[in-house]
Structure 1
């Protein structure tokens, strides 16, 4: 027994020596990250019953300072943007919206002066996007699928007891048709505010295929603001509009990887992730089609 105890202590001393030696040999490693060439960033969507909408900007380096001036300068203007549904091709028009502080937001959509060439999104139809900017051409394709996953009903109940008693939980009942491949993204709107995506806004039907199920609907969030726990609940007196959009797999993969990337920011133990866009010529971003349906819920005070 004494011999076994001696062997145990010996191994403990050896391991302790290795630990001390390892800590004593720590060394700082500095990485010099080269500045990357600026890339085109695309956020382009088309939805059933809605015109195409395209926002263009240029990427910033990882260590770039962020200011209203820098963000305003990153907006891409003067590009030639085309969207086709296979039988019609429309050139989109640039629109400029003045913002506070003398800044301007620009986007591209149908030309109101040339409605003969314009079209809106349709279910179960494919679309192509072409962008010509600063001598380079970019392309992407997407599909507005059919509306397959159905919103059966929405209701609410009191929120968690540890939160403000004014908070409520909204729950939905949904039906997923048999057959895998029904991808969705959801948004919510409170009262007269904008539609905002959920913190985790995209879902597949891997575990719910062919079933009717219930799921809490968390309020959409503005990622430009600090997000608190109670931001994801609704308030008594809210009028909630819930938007559920069927999307194709490419759009699902873009937002799945983008939201995973959001969650890993600031976490030294997270796994690096590549955001899966669908714009050609090494551009960033995506062109996505949305097959949307809406439900409204009035929450009593």
Structure 2
């Protein structure tokens, strides 16, 4: 199996949902046509050149990995396009440059596919700046810069059980942390059960605009059983990455909803689409007793 085929299979599931949404809307249109309300409209979609799409998350203690694909028309087949003639260069805080090689694979720790990988683990420190350059044989060039935010520690992770019968007994999770006095801090709290490879049980994206310098308390619903292993991760985000996450959520909510405003992705890179950021987080693993 070719590298590109392997990566395409790993990446195609995200776009399969778009096709399912399209089938649902087609069924709705058919129902309206049966009521005599049909009106044929020819929609001319603009033909846009394919852009490079980059997804890169640098992390302390991990070898840098990133994914490079191409954008495709909205109504095209849900198969990601993986360009192979792509050069990726990461510039470290000390000015040294590392070329990431094309070696598609799957990160078993996170469950994410990647196309390019570095040679040695990174040791980023808060305030350090990294640069990314992605070029291909078609003359396309994507660049980005990212600075590591400071790590914000989790103060406590607590759980509280409801008062139902033992077989229906469930707990909620409360996470507390202290926001620093400096303004414009953004956070993403993810709560997983058993493994970070799975989708989170709960997720929050918050900022300190209304409670700068105060304690945050974020809680889930009653959804955890006794002896569940819960992984709580608090990410401290820069503003560009926060804006990217919000735009992705807006686009997801608008997809297939005729009453929603169209939403575009607010990339953190220039010359293409995608995200380049340095992750800064604190993580706690607890067993609900």
Unaligned runs of at least 5 residues, structure 1: 1-25, 100-104, 219-229
**Preserved contact between residue 58 and residue 278 of structure 2 (Cα < 8 Å):** yes
User: How far apart, CA to CA, are the structure 2 residues paired with 1:198 and 1:171?
Assistant: 13
CA contact (8 A) 1:145 1:246 kept: yes
Pair 1:98–1:179, CA change in 2 (3 A):
closer
Q: Output the CA distance in 2 between the equivalents of 1:160 and 1:141.
A: 50
- Quote the residue 2:233 is aligned against: 243
Q: Distance in 2 between matches of 1:260 and 1:93?
A: 34
Q: Compute the displacement of 1:239 (Å).
A: 1.0
Query: Contact 1:254–1:286 (CA<8 Å) still a contact in 2?
Result: yes
1:168 aligns with 2:157: no
Asked if the contact 1:157/1:169 (under 8 Å) is kept, the reply is yes
Tell me the CA shift for residue 250 of structure 1.
0.7
How large is the Cα RMSD of the aligned pairs? 3.0
TM-score, L = length of structure 2: 0.74
Give the total of aligned pairs. Answer: 245
CA deviation after TM superposition for structure 1 residue 180, in Å: 1.3
| 3-state SS, counterpart of residue 123 of structure 2 | coil
Question: Structure 1-normalised TM-score?
Answer: 0.71
**1:248-267 pair list within 5 angstroms:** 248-267=238-257
CA contact (8 A) 1:124 1:145 kept: yes
1:138 and 2:142 matched: yes
Instruction: Give the equivalent residue in structure 1 for 2:4.
Output: none
| 2:65–2:114 Cα contact (<8 Å) kept | no
CA contact (8 A) 1:251 1:289 kept: no
Greater Cα radius of gyration, structure 1 or 2: 1
Could you say which residue in structure 2 is the equivalent of 1:53?
65
The 5 A counterparts of 1:18-97 are: 29-66=41-78, 70-71=79-80, 74-87=81-94, 88-97=96-105
Q: Report if aligned partners of 2:59, 2:280 keep a CA contact under 8 Å in 1.
A: yes
State the distance in 1 between where 2:127 and 2:106 align: 36
Task: Tell me, yes or no, if structure 1 residue 288 matches structure 2 residue 277.
Answer: yes
Cα gap change, 1:272/1:188 in structure 2, threshold over 3 Å: closer, same or farther? same
Q: CA shift at 1:51, angstroms?
A: 3.1
**CA deviation after TM superposition for structure 1 residue 62, in Å:** 0.8
1:272 to 262, 265, 282: 262
Cα distance in 2 for residues equivalent to 1:121 and 1:96: 24
Q: Deviations over 1:47-86 (max 9, x none)?
A: 23333221111112111122xxx23xx1233421111123
Give the Cα–Cα distance (whole angstroms) in 1 for the partners of residues 244 and 218 of structure 2.
Answer: 23
Q: Which residue of 2 aligns with 1:151?
A: 154
Runs of 4+ in 1 over 4 A off after TM superposition: 26-29, 195-201
Match among 268, 274, 286 for residue 297 of structure 1: 286
